[in-house]
Structure 1
Amino acid sequence: MDNFEFWYTTILILFMTVALIKELLQPELVVFSVLVLLLLGGVIDEKEAFAGFANSGMLTVLFLFIVAGALQKTGILNQIGSILLGRAGRTSVKLLRFMLPVAGMSAFFNNTPIVAMLIPSIKYWTKKNDRSPSKFMIPLSYAAILGGTMTLIGTSTTLVVHGLLLQNGLPGFRFFEITPIGLPVALFGLLFIALFGHHLLPARKEPMVKLGEHTREFVIEMKVLPSYRFLGYTIEQAGLRHLSGLYLFQIERKGKIIAPVTPQEKLFINDRLFFTGLPDTIIELQKTQGLSLLEDSTFDLKHYDSDTLNTFEVVISENSPLIGKNVRDSQFRQQYNAIILAIHRSGERIQKKIGDVVLHAGDTLLLLAQHGFIKEWYHSRDFYLVSETTSIPSKPRWYSIFSMTVLILMILFMATGLLPILAVVATAAIILVVTRCISPEDAQRSIEWPTLLIIASAFGISRALDNSGVATFLATKLITAIGSLGVIGLLAGVYFLTSLYTEFITNNAAAALMFPIVLAIAGQADIDARPFLLALAMAASASFATPIGYQTNMMVYGPGGYKFIDFLRVGIAMNIFSGIITITVIYFLFF
């Protein structure tokens, strides 16, 4: 039976690896199917197979998705992304600008919530600036991983090794004991990704409708206020030149029309900017601080609540009382309890101020109104068509302040260890749902269920590797083969075998499986086990080459639009160089 379990598990792990690399099926289906087959084969029992589904780490990630969703709904994450990434510029500079703070935060806080909360923020920034999210998502995960290697609490893997030390009657790691090793690895890794590694990443973008003769373009007029941060800057410097899904085609200044608008044209107070664009990009544009659509006491256009308000498109019918009236005199808001954000007229680009536009039959209006608008006006003779458009997350300002407060308190409680991390994150998620920072429906939609399925299944698969003897067999054979190479050979064996395990099973499981083997090696060689255990902690934490090796890699897998091979391209080099630096530093520190 033991021999059957060994070969059965080996074949299934090989199948899983090939299926993931070849992308034969969805990753979550592949991993979960292997888990079920291991259960059917008797390699693991029911409790071992499904222990990951009740694991505190997996549940923590689940609640963090809700927290991140709430922060996105309130607009906080979009602001964080803008601060970290700034305006458009060189990719290398942008990567360093956000990876350094991410690595710094990950050294002192669990890197999982950091990645979970920044994924939607970076996606928003890349979409807004017409950049590829696949150039930024892997760097986000890698920065969090590298930062986590710099202190005891930066990653749960180091804490696992720390706990195993104590369990075996050995002194645990000191808070900064791993820092002399993790810091140079982190600095090298960040520079490598920013300067060279990002060239190995794909440049995939989400499908985005381009403006053109067959696109339904809306025209929106924005007024420049004294509070606009780019007063006196050129169009290029203000980031208004290359907007995704938007085009600045005209400026009106003191009654004079400036068209076409050159990149070097400067912006001044009371300038009226005329944009043409797609509905969702127009809705985002009107939230820009210092650019005003209109003054309205009923609707706060910068901080409206998307749970009660939404955007709609309506087509004016030939029987509508609006025909022949300009927008200003039509009393549209009073009549329909809605605001006109932008106007589309087929075959013509509107050049006038929105308030001066005379409405025609067939004009399409982009509106902001209550959710009940479509029910109230769907059958009206005033409009040929009433339809709901893309929902853009938005909340009043106090929601943003409140959600940010919850986030800060959550991080503080996690850092101090006053309460279990799962309890802290679950409480934060519940508070955000109860206070309507995110609705229960949106909370459910914010959870990445495929990612959770993979994380939960990985625990059972790692147990199968242990039960079947596959893990111990591979470790013993490799260590025996390189033992003659001396201390550096043993360090390299421990590091790269652990690194290999980590790429295909969870990092915590890899650390737990390798721990007794490392102690045995040190005992047989009559060498202090401490440096080898530091190498073990580093190798299990620094997992770059596959999406399943570290949960932050899996978290960015979908949002970045990656394939399995994308991680191999940049991750193998990261693994090798990180290993070389770790082994070199440990050797000079201890031998």
Structure 2
Amino acid sequence: MNIPDIPNNHALAMLLITVIALYFFRRDDIPLETSSLSVLVLLCLVFTIFPFEVNAQMLEPSSLFFGFGHEALVTVCALMIIGHALVRTGALVPVGRNLAKLWKISPALSLLITLIIAGTLSAFVNNTPIVVLLLPILANVALRTKTDTSPMLLPMGLATLVGGMTTTIGTSTNLLVVSVASDMGLPRIGMFDFSLPAVIAATVAIAYLWIVAPKLLPKRSPSLADTSPRLFSAYLNINEDSISNGKTVAEVLKLTDDQMTIQSIQRSPHYRNVRPFPDTVLREGDRLHVKDYPDQLKEFESVIQATMFSGAHKVDENHPLNAEKQMLAEIVVIQASGLVGRTLRDVQFAKRYGISVVALHRDGKAMEIGRSSIGNMIIHTGDVLLVQGEAEQIDELKENRGFLIIDGAADLPYSKKAPIALGVLFGVVTVAALGILPIAISSICGIVVLLATKCLSWEDISSALSSQVILIVVASLALGSAMMQTGGAEYIAQMFVALAFDLPPAGILSALMLMLAVLTNIVSNNAAAVIGTPIAISVATQLNVPVEPFILAVLFGANLSYATPMAYKTNILVMNAGGYQFSDFVRVGLPLVILMWITLSCLLTWLYL
């Protein structure tokens, strides 16, 4: 084994920054936007303070900002906007309606068709709108047929990830790998150039998700407002005219047939905690901390004549929480909502929608917010909000299309603009596939058509864009470029080849894909793809073998984000909507990762080496 020489100081610095970046990218307590921007700033400072010469020219630190205008980022953002248009206009609703009808006839066949449709659509559209469309439909099917959602939702979510890897526009990861490889002087990979191995592997994956995965999943409680299987934390305010005012805890509990459990009592004016002893007398202003199902909370509110408390605003005439027309609903937050990374107070949620948020659910469990106001909590993608408002207000929120309401409703709106949105998507893909225009230009043209036909507004466009995606792409491109120019990527490639020196080229290719598969389930798949691409090119060059299969090994490996809920944003949506646990993703996703790794390794070796 020939150990490569130690590279230059700048290359070592890039390797250190890469380790730091990957560490911060996986930290849940630091916003991904902050981590990405910090990496970009750190790179610029390093090359400003310690200049580096490349090909007799100094590396200009400001050149690391090239990612903001990179065609891959432009294309990713444009396709996110087009995908949002499909959701906004209800263009995919007919698919959902027909699926719902089919489920009543043959559940087993319906699951297979659902998986195929989900995977096929995700080859051309970002998988988030596909998941947003299918989650309430499958929840409705489970509700009406009185079946378990567990065998449906997670396989469907993973099917969208499998389908996304079959074309260059299926995921942002694919676009980044193809664009970075092209930037490094390699022939441009066409939209369907790697579809053959991807489709074969996807067929294997769909068969696994249809036959095996449902048997591996235990029964889980989904998030359905009608059946209320999810526990939430909430606070019941004791009012002056409440029947509970002046009664003991024991007397109040009797009113609920001892069904209510009081976790604690917060007493004004300073909201100090009071133990809920049976003889504790409740008085005006007390807040009872309770945890139960949504319908139970609503029942307790009525029986003890209390008011369910929302930290977003005080109870007033404009927002009565105890009106007869009030109802509860569960809302899953998605990127298009405009809430991600902000607080409910920042966006004036209650004032804007006339709806109060009374509880928050995250990562499969109710959040213990305590004294903190719900309105001050920073909202994450996949959070479930228990909201209270009139039926008309809940319906208006559905029309907003920025929220996924899990209420078993199959009556989704379909606008007259839907055919236009579908036509734009078809036109963008066709023009790019035929080589008439690059996908970056055709997708931008599609957005202009959507604006001209009023399928989208500029407000819709701003809500469709993700600051997380933009900054992680820019930071990853800058880091990948810096690693390549300083020799850091070359050094990793040399070490990788040295460690795998006993393996044939096919074995090294397979090991590279496995490394990316592990990395993508821990950190951002985009970061893994951008960092892995120059390494793959260096490895293939040193082995003197075709470069394309090694690039595809990175592309496929970075797409195998099945084994953890944090590996991909739609995994979080499925986890919360289906009541899944972390172990469920490992139980189903890890075998799928191994199956796809073996299948794709064999296919790439057979077709390219």
User: TM-score scaled to structure 2, two decimals?
Assistant: 0.55
Q: Shift of the alpha carbon at 1:585?
A: 4.1
Identity in percent: 16
From 44, 57, 69, give the equivalent of 2:84: 69
CA 1:102–1:29: 2 relative to 1, 3 Å: same
Over 3 Å counting, the alpha-carbon distance change for 1:145 and 1:74 in structure 2 is: closer
- Given the alignment of the two structures, is residue 100 of structure 1 paired with residue 105 of structure 2, yes or no? no
Looking at structure 1, the residues matched to 585 and 60 of structure 2 have their Cα atoms a distance apart, in angstroms, of 32
Distance 1:180 1:479 in 2: 28
Residue of structure 1 in register with 2:39 after alignment: 34
Equivalent residue in structure 2 for 1:392, among 369, 393, 399: 399
Q: In 1, are the aligned partners of 2:71 and 2:179 still within 8 Å (CA)? A: no
Q: Tell me, in whole angstroms, the C-alpha distance in 2 between the residues paired with 1:448 and 1:202.
A: 33
Q: Is the 8 A contact 2:75 2:439 kept in 1?
A: yes
- Taking the TM superposition and a 5 Å limit, the aligned residue runs for 1:388-427 are 390-393=397-400, 397-427=415-445
CA distance in 2, matches of 1:581, 1:365: 52
Distance in structure 2 (CA, Å) of the matches to 1:210 and 1:412: 44
Q: Give unpaired runs (5+ residues) of structure 2.
A: 1-5, 53-58, 144-148, 235-292, 296-324, 331-351, 356-388, 402-412
- Taking structure 1 as the reference length, the TM-score comes to 0.56
- Amino acid in structure 2 at the alignment position of 1:36: V
Residue correspondence of structure 1 range 111-260 to structure 2 within 5 A: 111=124, 113-125=125-137, 128=140, 135=154, 138-148=157-167, 155-156=174-175, 178=194, 181-197=197-213, 199=216, 208=225
After superposition, what is the alpha-carbon deviation per residue over 1:322-381, rounded to whole angstroms, capped at 9, x for unaligned? xxxxxxxxxxxxxxxxxxxxxxxxxxxxxxxxxxxxxxxxxx98559xxxxxxxxxxxxx
Asked if the contact 1:56–1:422 (Cα under 8 Å) also holds between the matched residues in 2, the reply is: yes
Q: 1:490 to 1:64 in 2, by over 3 A?
A: closer
Secondary structure of the 1:418 match is coil
Query: Which among 438, 446, 458 is matched to residue 456 of structure 2?
Result: 438
**Which of 560, 570, 574 is 1:556 aligned to?**
570
Question: 1:68 touches 1:117 (CA, 8 Å); kept in 2?
Answer: yes
| 8 Å contact from structure 1 (residues 91, 194) kept in 2 | no
Residue 537 in structure 1 maps to residue 552 in structure 2:
yes
What letter matches 1:96 in structure 2?
A: L
Whole-angstrom CA distance in 2 between matches of 1:3 and 1:565: 43
Residues 132-531 of structure 1 mapped to structure 2, 5 A cutoff: 135=154, 138-148=157-167, 155-156=174-175, 178=194, 181-197=197-213, 199=216, 208=225, 278=327, 390-393=397-400, 397-496=415-514, 503=525, 505-507=527-529, 510-522=532-544, 529-530=545-546
Contact 1:50–1:456 (CA under 8 A) maintained in structure 2: yes
- Asked if the contact 2:514/2:557 (under 8 Å) is kept, the reply is no
Question: What's the offset of the Cα at 1:20?
Answer: 3.9
Residues in 1 aligned to 2:13 and 2:584: alpha-carbon distance in whole angstroms: 29
Contact 1:495 1:539 in 2 (8 A): yes
Contact 2:166 2:195 in 1 (8 A): no
In the alignment, does 2:4 pair up with 1:17?
A: no
Tell me the equivalent position of 1:231.
Answer: none
**CA drift at 1:124:** 4.1
From 64, 72, 85, the equivalent of 1:49 is 64
Displacement of 1:39 in angstroms is: 2.1
**Cα deviations across residues 265-324 of structure 1 (Å, max 9, x unaligned)?**
xxxxxxxxxxx994879xxxxxxxxxxxxxxxxxxxxxxxxxxxx9989xxxxxxxxxxx
CA apart distance, 1:517 = 2.7
Alpha-carbon deviation of 1:2? 6.7
Residue 398 of structure 1: how far off its partner (Å): 2.4
- Residue 139 of structure 1 deviates from its aligned partner by 1.0
Distance 1:122 1:30 in 2: 32
SS at match of 1:520: helix
Q: What is the CA–CA distance in structure 2 between the aligned matches of 1:31 and 1:499, rounded to whole Å?
A: 21
| Superposition deviation, residue 56 in structure 1 | 1.8
SS state at 1:543 partner: helix
Q: Is the 8 A contact 2:67 2:475 kept in 1?
A: yes
Higher mean alpha-carbon deviation, 12-21 vs 553-562, is at 553-562
Q: Which whole-Å deviations, capped at 9, do the CAs of 1:158-212 have from their partners, x for residues lacking one?
A: 85698589x57x9x88998756643432222223344445757996966958669
Give the distance between the partners of 1:427 and 1:589, measured in 2 at CA: 36
CA contact (8 A) 1:115 1:141 kept: yes
Amino acid at match of 2:558: S
- In terms of Rg, which structure is larger? 1
CA contact (8 A) 1:312 1:389 kept: no
- State the shift of 1:476 in Å: 0.9
On the 8 A contact 1:160/1:508 being kept in 2, the answer is no
- Tell me if structure 2 keeps the 8 A contact 1:146–1:542: no
How far, CA to CA, are the matches of 1:462 and 1:367 in structure 2? 50
Answer whether contact 1:145 1:541 (CA < 8 A) is retained: no
Q: 1:554 to 1:495 in 2, by over 3 A?
A: closer
- Report how far residue 521 of structure 1 moved: 0.6
Question: In the aligned structure 2, how far is the partner of 1:565 from the partner of 1:25?
Answer: 24
Distance 1:446 1:590 in 2: 38
Distance verdict in 2 for CA 1:163–1:473, change over 3 Å: closer
CA, structure 1 residues 481+539, in 2 after alignment: closer, same or farther (shift >3 Å)? same
1:398-441 per-position Cα deviation (integer Å, ceiling 9, x unaligned): 22333333333333223323222222222222332333323332
In the TM superposition, what whole-angstrom CA distance separates every residue of 1:119-167 from its partner, at most 9, and x where no partner exists? 432344356557579726741442224433999xx954785698589x5
Return the offset for 1:27.
2.6
Rounded Cα–Cα distance in structure 2 between residues aligned with 1:536 and 1:413: 25
- C-alpha distance in 1 between matches for 2:89 and 2:26: 38
Structure 2 SS opposite 1:41: helix
TM superposition shift of 1:51? 1.7
Aligned-partner residue type, residue 416 of structure 1? L
**1:539-577 CA-partner distances (Å, limit 9, x unpaired):** 42342455999xx96553664468999877765544443
Q: Which stretches in structure 1 are left out of the alignment for 5+ residues?
A: 215-243, 247-275, 282-309, 314-363, 369-386, 523-528
Q: 1:590 offset after TM fit, Å?
A: 7.3
**Alpha-carbon separation, structure 2, partners of 1:546 and 1:420:** 28
SS in 2 for 1:484: coil
In 2, are the aligned partners of 1:70 and 1:437 still within 8 Å (CA)? Answer: yes
The structural deviation recorded for 1:479 is: 1.0
